[in-house]
Amino acid sequence: MDEQRISSLRGDQLKHNEDVLDAIVCMYIGALYQSGQDHTVFGTTMNGYIYVPTKQCLPEAGGLG
């Protein structure tokens, strides 16, 4: 997670980095869904939808240490 390295990515390297990040986010949201977290769904299966957890799932950044 080196900000300078990420800022320097271009072309295929940038696309690859974005794809990996998308996969991580999708996996995390899928795990929340499977674990039965409280959530709201906006939209429909016909037109597209988004799953949104309604409770905080991770501790505050200051509470990790």
Residue 56 is predicted with a pLDDT of 78
Q: Where are the beta strands (DSSP E) in 1-65?
A: 39-44, 48-53
Residue 15 is predicted with a pLDDT of 96
Per the structure block, which two tokens stand in for 54? 């309604």
| pLDDT tens profile 11-53 | 999 999 999 999 999 998 889 889 888 899 999 999 999 988 8
